Amino acid sequence: MSQFCDIIKINYFCLDMIIKTKSRIIESAIEVFNANYSAPLQKVADNANITRRTLHRYFKDRNELVAVCEREMEISCKKAMINAIDSSNEPLVQLKNMLIAGINCGSKYSFFYKLHKGESHNHNKNNKDCADYDYIYQNFTQIIRDLQEQNIISRQMTIGWIQNLHAGIIISSVSSDLNNKETKLQIKEFAWKSFIKGISP
């Protein structure tokens, strides 16, 4: 039995290491590919502080890495957005939390949004990812409509523009994190203020 436990322990240890390195590679890859989709894998490896050889031990090839990154982005962005939606019944609170959630997701959200909005992406309702994206978007739309009826948001602005602004402010907040003096908390406050005032009547 003790031997069995050892195996378990070792396996847990190994699993832990694997997940640790593997997820570091994924996070790194999302960052790098978000900034430069065709960046060489060496850059991903450098960014993750491992060698390219190690990267190839975890991922069969570039396609697999990209696919796993997309999965990771889909899962964590959706989760964050759905949490934000579920966080309240108040549309204004929901909207704010969706913005904050996007900023917290960082380059994951930037990449996620680009993927679903990009020219090369052909949207397909039968694709689960697209369906989930639509679900979030429908919620977003409903929140905006509610707030427009309450006269908290301008009725002149289209949903398309508001969504565009929402994502645009998230993306620029994320990239600003790197080179500005403002704290992350300050950025989030500014982002929310600018967004909600920007679409007010």
Q: Which residues of 58-79 are buried (b: 16+ CB within 10 A; e: fewer)?
A: bbeebeebeebbbebbbebbbe
- Looking at the Cβ atoms of 125 and 197, the one nearer to a second copy is 197
CB of 23 to a second copy, least distance (A): 22
**Beta-carbon-side half-sphere exposure of residue 136 (alpha carbons within 13 Å):** 24
Binder of residue 183, out of DNA, a second copy, none (CB less than 5 to 8 A by kind): none
Binding mask 66-105 for a second copy (x = CB under 8 A): ----------------------------------------
Give residues with Cβ within 8 angstroms of 83, minimum separation 6.
97, 101
Binding to a second copy (CB under 8 A) within 14-53 occurs at 35-40
If one asks whether residue 179 binds a second copy (CB under 8 A), the answer comes out as yes
Q: Which residues of 84-111 are buried (b: 16+ CB within 10 A; e: fewer)?
A: bbeeeeebeebbbbbbbbbbbbbbbbbb
Q: Which of 23, 27, 35, 41 binds DNA (CB under 7 A)?
A: 41
Q: Site residues (CB under 8 A) for a second copy? A: 35-40, 117, 119, 154, 157-158, 160-161, 164-165, 167-169, 171-173, 175-176, 178-182, 186-187, 190, 193-195, 197-200
